Amino acid sequence: MASRPDLILASASPRRLALLNQIGIEPEHLVPAHVDETPEKGELPRKLAQRLADLKALTAQHKARSAGFGADALVLGADTVVAVGRRILPKAETMEEASECLSMLSGRAHRVYTGLTVLTPSGAKRQRLVETRIRFKRLSTREMEAYLASAEWRGKAGGYAIQGIAAAFVVKLTGSYSGVVGLPLMETAQLLAGEGYPVHFNWLNQSTLSGV
């Protein structure tokens, strides 16, 4: 029986690691992939999400192999893009950016795209793009000011974190909640299992440890 492949997560995001841990997956290596996330001219949100997922996975694979490890590992890359229509919202770094994002999202529907890429040791590339539709309530000035003061928005795509305070703004969500947080779990598990990663191994161990 062939040994299971190691897994490299092409991210330093604690959210993505926590999501993987939630379904019993602990990557052997975390390799941050800092890439230029600027959209190309005329690039659509869904294409940007998949391109950046690809780029992050390739960057992490190159870094790992240059450092002398990961030659036989699967590499998982992901990127999340928030868009209103064709307009891509930034990962807010300033209060002005976050305020502009909230103003655009208030009382409207928007879409969250998360691209997934798995690179195999043989050089194959597996991809999935997950789309989630979300509608926010109409935000009052007081709600917007309070959320901006929380600073929860900092570094978040679209200027909000659905797993935090901003959950109070969501009227409707259709699609993958975990995808909005940063990693769609069903699709991630399918991609990894399809490449021989034992997604369910720790589930069986959990039942043994708990005496079930």
Indicate which residues carry an active-site annotation. Answer: 79
The answer to whether 130 and 191 are in contact (CB under 8 A) is no
Which SS3 state, helix, strand or coil, does residue 60 take?
helix
Q: From residue 98, how far is each of 91, 105, 128, 139, 160 by CA, in Å?
A: 8, 11, 28, 14, 8
Which SS3 state, helix, strand or coil, does residue 57 take?
helix
What are the two backbone dihedrals, phi and then psi, of residue 126, each rounded to the nearest 5 degrees?
A: -115, 135
109: Cβ–Cβ under 8 A, 6 or more apart, which residues?
133, 134, 135
Q: Provide the residue type at 185 as one letter.
A: L
The answer to whether 152 and 164 are in contact (CB under 8 A) is yes
User: Roughly how many angstroms between the first and final C-alpha of the chain, as a whole number?
Assistant: 27
| Number of CB atoms found within 10 A of residue 85's CB | 11
What are the two backbone dihedrals, phi and then psi, of residue 113, each rounded to the nearest 5 degrees?
A: -110, 130
